[in-house]
Structure 1
Amino acid sequence: MDRVTKLAGQRAVVIFSMSSCCMCHSVMRLFRELGVNPTVVELDEDPRGKEMDKALVRLLGRNPAVPAVFIGGRLVGSTDKVMSLHLSGNLVPLLRNAGALWV
C-alpha cells in the first residue's frame, strides 16, 4: 500500500495499468487528448506489480483494479468514474487544480 501511495503522490496524474488492458489504454488516451502527460505504472511490467495490484484491489474494492487513476495524489477511481467526471465537465477543473493542465 505504501508503494502505491508514494507513487500516486509523486505526479499530478498517475495511472496504474496493465499493458494488455484496453480500458487502461482508453483512459490514457483521454488524458493525452486533454493535454495531460500521465505517469503510467504498468503493473505487469513492474517487479512489485503484484503487490501493488493487491493494494489497489483493497482500495477500490474490486478486481481487476486497473485502471486505477489518481489525480493530485487522491484516488479518483477507474474508467467509469473518469468518464463520468469528463462528461459532467468536472475532469478538466480537477486536472487544473492538481497542476496537470496549465490552460
Structure 2
Amino acid sequence: MADRVRELASKKAAVIFTKSSCCMCHSIKSLFYELGASPAIHELDKDSSGREMEWALRGLGCNPTVPAVFIGGRYVGSAKDVISLHVDGTLKQMLIDARAIWF
C-alpha cells in the first residue's frame, strides 16, 4: 500500500490526502485553491482502501496522517507545516517550482 500512496502522491504536482470530516483538511484545500493550485484530493474516509492508505501514510512518516500534503511528489507536511510554509512565503514558490501554479 505504501507504493500505491507514493504513486498517487507523485501523479500530480500537488496532492493532499484528507478526510471529509477534518476541518484542517478543508482549510488546507481552500488555501491551495486560493493560491491557484488544483491539487489531487484523496479523501481517505471515502476510499475503500482508505484505512490501509492511512496506515501507509503513517509508515511514511506522516503524523498526523491527514492532511498529508505532497508537492512535486515530496511529502511537505501536515496542516501546521503547510501553514508555516505559507506564512514565510515558501509554499507559493514550492507550488510554482512543482508547476502546480504558474505566474
What range is the shorter-chain TM-score in? over 0.9
DSSP-derived class of the 2:48 partner: coil
**TM-score (normalizing by structure 1):** 0.95
CA RMSD of aligned residues (A): 0.9
The one-letter code sitting in structure 1 at the alignment partner of 2:96 is R
Specify every segment of 5 or more residues in structure 1 that has no aligned partner in the other structure, as ranges: none
The residue that corresponds to 1:59 in the other structure is 60
> What do residues 67-98 of structure 1 show as CA deviations (whole Å, max 9, x unaligned)?
00000000001001100100001011100010
CA contact (8 A) 1:60 1:77 kept: no
> What do residues 38-87 of structure 1 show as CA deviations (whole Å, max 9, x unaligned)?
1100001111111100011122353x410000000000010011001000
The residue that corresponds to 2:98 in the other structure is 98
After superposition, the Cα gap between the structure-2 partners of 1:102 and 1:59, relative to the gap in structure 1 and judged at 3 Å, is: same
DSSP-derived class of the 1:35 partner: coil
- Alignment size in residue pairs: 102
* Superposition pairs of residues 64-103 of structure 1, within 5 angstroms: 64-103=64-103
The residue that corresponds to 2:18 in the other structure is 17
DSSP-derived class of the 2:101 partner: coil
Give, in whole Å, the separation in 1 of the partners of 2:43 and 2:65: 12
Q: What fraction of aligned residue pairs are identical, expressed as a percent?
A: 55
The residue that corresponds to 2:39 in the other structure is 38
DSSP-derived class of the 2:60 partner: helix
**Structure 1: 4+ residue segments shifted above 2 A:** none
**TM-score (normalizing by structure 2):** 0.95
DSSP-derived class of the 2:11 partner: coil
CA contact (8 A) 1:4 1:55 kept: yes
DSSP-derived class of the 1:9 partner: helix
